[in-house]
Structure 1
Amino acid sequence: MKKIAYILLIVLSVVSLQNCEDTYLPPSLEYITFGKTVYSTGVDVGGSTTVEIPVYTGNIVSTDRTFNVDVDGSAAAAGSYTAPSSVTIPGGTNKGTISVNLTDTNLGIGVNKLSIKFIADGSTTVGAATSIEYIQNCEEVTLTLNIVFDGYGSETGWNIKDALGGVVVSKPIKTYADGQATASETITLCAGRDYTFTIIDDYGDGLSYPANGSYTLSLGNTVKATGGGDFGASETTAFDTN
């Protein structure tokens, strides 16, 4: 009798465990992601624009949900963007929108980049980060830089900076070769802006040995910067693209 009762107890335990496994339902997975990984746009001179970034969750619930985001603006001009620190998904849907406002503040001529990611909270699986790449819209003009070397082209380099001091185009020393006679560069800049051109000599005697060299930066038929001979380690000329 005791043996039969013991067997019955084991059978009931197994059935009980099977019933638990059959009825157990794991919690639904919370997941959120951006619509795309990269957004690109331009900002008019003195203007602003807004980039709308859609975000999606993996499920729909009846109540609003808020997710925190982190915005890294280390590669963007200071003061050129305004972005929220969170996004809300309204109840009854799986879509929300992050609105990022961009302005022509300190943009210069380079590409600015914002990196945006969701902050994981332990209960939410987050998708890949997204980014916004933006530039200042402008009318482009083409300049020509002609250099006659002094015999040691490897010592020569140059750069052009915008009004904010950012380097927009450059050639470092050792770009050119010793014994190279001349070089001609085509340079694209924004029209109607202020820049500085700097030519550099690594040895510190300009374009002067064994023969005097020269350089000329021109916009069409207008000379914007020119010089040569012994200018020392560098020579800087301010110019505009009017």
Structure 2
Amino acid sequence: MKKTINILLIIVSLVLFQNCEDDQFETSLSYVTFGDSTYSTGVDVGGSTTIDVTVFSNKNVASDVTFNVVVDESSTAAAGSYNVPSSVTIPSGSNKGTLTIGLSDVNLGIGVNKLVLKFDDVDAAFASGNSTTVEYIQNCTEVTGTFDIRFNYPCEVSWDIKDSLGGVVLSGSGYPGCSGAYSTLSIPITLCAGRSYTLTTTDDYGDGWGGTGSYTLTIGGVVKVSGDGSLMDNGGLNEPISSTVPFTTN
């Protein structure tokens, strides 16, 4: 019995010693990480802004420590719309550094721009954490209007509005009616102020709008684009024909 107790005491001692060693190893590690996995902001139309990305180490550093930062290839942010410093410094006596990123309204278009940042070539004394993502959009002040259509064969007519990067913002097609009798439709439109767009109208056979058909795009009470059937007449070739017209919501 006494021998059994001695064996148990030896095992417990070994376990406690191992745990102490593990604790000592873990607390001796140095690492650097981004403060959050995601940062979000918006950029005014034609404007610029900055966003601060926080970097932390697990303990105060004895002297200034600089970490290299790179933009990961998985980023989908518009080229020219961001300025990322190549490094960030945690100052002596602190465990926190700030990476200030510049953002501007260059080719932002619609949707979310995603800028993925990661540490690169980190000092051997530090382990590095996961990447972080800066998400930003072009701020939108909405303006409303209508797209009014008078067509001959609604089923043959389609249209879309694209932003400056070619992204489809609004569209319509497949309207009921192939009888050749004129009908009208008024479609509510919501876009962003101060942006450039293009309106493309398409006729599958060159007679969907008809000789006296028409379309008018009005934003905020101002006519931006208008056209009639003559713009979509291909001379009876029964082939698709399109017209594209740029406009702004200023």
Residue 142 of structure 1 corresponds to 144
Aligned to 2:127: 124
What residue is the counterpart of 2:4 in the other structure?
none
Structural mapping, 1:1-242, within 5 Å: 24=21, 25-26=24-25, 28-72=28-72, 74-108=75-109, 111-119=112-120, 124-135=127-138, 137=139, 139-153=141-155, 156-162=158-164, 165-167=165-167, 169-171=169-171, 175-179=173-177, 182=185, 184-191=187-194, 193-201=195-203, 203-205=204-206, 207-208=208-209, 213-229=213-229, 231=232, 232-242=240-250
Q: Which amino acid aligns with 2:43?
A: V
Show CA shifts across 1:33-91 (max 9, x none). 32233333333455432211112122333233333322248533332221022222223
The amino acid across from 1:188 in the alignment is: L
Letter in 2 for 1:90: P
- Structure 2 counterpart SS, 1:99: strand
Q: Is contact 2:76-2:114 (8 Å) kept? A: yes
CA displacement at 1:235 relative to structure 2:
1.0
Residue 147 of structure 2: SS of its match in structure 1? strand
The alignment's TM-score, normalised by the length of structure 2, stands at 0.68
Distance in 1 between residues matched to 2:161 and 2:130, nearest whole Å: 40
Question: Aligned residues: percent identity?
Answer: 42
Task: For structure 1, list consecutive stretches of 5 or more residues without a partner in the other structure.
Answer: 1-13
| SS of match in other structure, 2:25 | coil
Q: What TM-score, normalized by structure 1, do the two folds share?
A: 0.70
- Counterpart CA distance in 2 for 1:60 and 1:45 is 41
- Tell me which amino acid in the other structure corresponds to 2:190: I
Instruction: Decide whether aligned partners of structure 1 residues 118 and 150 sit closer, same or farther in structure 2, where only a CA change above 3 A counts.
Output: farther
Q: Is the 8 A contact 1:67 1:86 kept in 2?
A: yes
Per-residue deviation, 1:96:
0.9
| Alpha-carbon distance in 2 for matches of 1:198, 1:22 | 70
Cα contact 1:34–1:130 (8 A) shared by 2: no
1:82-132 CA distance string (max 9 Å, x none): 102222222322211111012333445654332223348585141352223
C-alpha separation in 1, matches of 2:34 and 2:153 = 56
- The 1:138/1:58 distance shift into structure 2, 3 A limit, reads same
Aligned-residue RMSD, C-alpha: 3.7
The CA deviation string for residues 9-41 of structure 1, in whole angstroms up to 9 with x for no partner, is xxxxx9xx9698587442623333322333333
Distance in 2 of aligned mates of 1:69 and 1:220: 45
**Cα distance, 1:206 vs structure 2:** 5.4
Q: CA deviation at 1:208?
A: 4.0
After superposition, the Cα gap between the structure-2 partners of 1:34 and 1:77, relative to the gap in structure 1 and judged at 3 Å, is same
Q: 1:240 to 1:47 in 2, by over 3 A?
A: closer
Call closer, same or farther: CA 1:155–1:145 in 2, change over 3 Å. closer
Q: What is the SS of the residue equivalent to 1:26?
A: helix
Does the 8 Å CA contact 1:206/1:234 hold for their aligned counterparts?
Answer: no
